[in-house]
Amino acid sequence: MANQGDSPVNEGRRRFLTTTTAVVGAVGAGFAAVPFIKSWNPSARAKLAGAPVTADITGLVEGQRLILEWRGQPIWIVKRSQAILTALPTLDGRLRDPKSDNADQQPDYIKKANPELRSLKPEISVLVGLCTHLGCSPELKAEIRPEPFDPEWKGGYFCPCHKSRFDMAGRVFQGVPAPTNLKVPPHYYENDTTIIIGVDPSSSNSAGAA
């Protein structure tokens, strides 16, 4: 009899918890994860209550992914290359929601800033790292090169649980189990190198808001 703890959701959660306590190995050409730094986060109780999380991206270089935790979810901050930014608009015809029309998947100010890049700054992507199918944590496949699951791969995220695919803006491909794009959490830039996760720009004067 199958163990309930071996379900895709629990498997994805275990993989996330492992990721957030260790350095993730390099993925793709030049892409690497920065270790999860607990000192950047409030207490566990505060995180579950939705307290904001501060990320310092001073040292984030092109091709790196920073992994944080907010409300018990992995938050991915990635600095995208110009090649990735150039490739994103070419994928629209292969995507389920290329213009981010599903308002539940990102704040309105993200869509207004750029629906294809889904970010406040073109080069910086901020996403909730959970597949919108069953909550597994997708793998970063950042290189623009043919992959076994897609011979025309332009970089993005691949969920091994049920083969869902997302581009480097977190937009979901057509014909996969995941129904929607990866979520973009509320966030704003306190300055050029500091991102506050969990607070909208309009609430930046009251950073303690959930």
Give, for 45, the enclosing helix (H) or strand (E). helix 44-48
Residue 130, SS3 per DSSP: coil
C-beta of residue 52 within 8 angstroms of C-beta of residue 46:
no
C-beta of residue 135 within 8 angstroms of C-beta of residue 182:
no
Nearest to 74 by CA among 32, 26, 126: 126
Q: How far apart are CA 179 and CA 170, in angstroms?
A: 12
Domain ranges of the chain: 4-201
Amino acid symbol at 161: C
| pLDDT in the model for residue 204 | 61
The two tokens of residue 25 are: 């190995």
Burial environment of residue 6 by CB neighbours within 10 A (0 to 12, 13 to 18, 19 or more): exposed
Fold of 4-201: Rieske Iron-sulfur Protein (2.102.10)
| pLDDT in the model for residue 44 | 58
- Compute mean pLDDT per 10 residues along the chain, 210 residues long, and list them: 47 46 35 44 57 93 90 95 95 96 95 94 96 92 94 95 96 97 97 95 56
| pLDDT in the model for residue 121 | 95
Burial environment of residue 27 by CB neighbours within 10 A (0 to 12, 13 to 18, 19 or more): middle
Residues paired with 194 in a beta bridge: 56, 191
